[in-house]
C-alpha cells in the first residue's frame, strides 16, 4: 500500500481526520491506513467509528494492529522513551 494513503491522527478534532479519510476514499483509494500514537490512539478509534457509522457504512476494518515505538526522550539526550502505536487498515468494498 502506498504511504500516501495514510492518515496520521494527532491532536486536532476527530472530524478533521474523518474528512481526510472521506477525501481519500472519494479520490479513489481502496485502502487507508489510520495511524496514531500515544494519547491520540483513542481519537484514531473515534475517527474510524465516526467514519463507518455516520458517513461511509460500506467501509470495513481489515485489520487493527498495536505496537510500540521508541522515541528520543525530550528531557534527556541519548535516552529513549516508549510510546504505544495503533494502525487501523480500512478498505472500501
Burial of 13 (0-12, 13-18, 19+ CB in 10 A): exposed
Cα 56 to chain centroid distance, Å, stands at: 16
Look up cell 477525501; give the residue.
23
**2, 4, 68, 76: residue in contact with its own copies (rule CB under 8 A):** 68
When asked if residue 65 is in the footprint of its own copies (CB under 8 A), the reply is: yes
The gap from C-alpha 30 to its chain's centroid, in whole angstroms, comes to 15
Residues 18-37 that bind its own copies (CB under 8 A): none
Using CB under 8 A as the binding rule, whether residue 7 contacts its own copies is answered as no
Contacting positions for its own copies (CB under 8 A):
38-42, 45-46, 48-49, 53, 61, 64-68, 82, 84-86, 88
Amino acid at each position: 500500500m502506498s504511504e500516501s494513503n495514510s492518515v496520521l491522527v494527532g491532536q486536532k478534532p476527530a472530524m478533521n481526520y474523518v474528512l481526510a479519510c472521506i477525501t481519500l476514499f472519494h479520490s479513489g483509494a481502496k485502502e487507508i491506513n489510520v495511524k496514531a500514537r500515544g494519547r491520540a490512539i483513542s481519537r484514531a478509534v473515534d475517527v474510524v467509528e465516526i467514519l463507518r457509522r455516520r458517513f461511509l457504512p460500506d467501509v470495513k476494518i481489515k485489520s487493527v494492529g498495536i505496537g510500540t515505538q521508541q522515541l528520543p526522550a525530550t528531557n534527556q539526550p541519548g535516552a529513549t522513551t516508549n510510546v504505544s502505536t495503533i494502525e487501523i487498515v480500512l478498505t472500501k468494498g
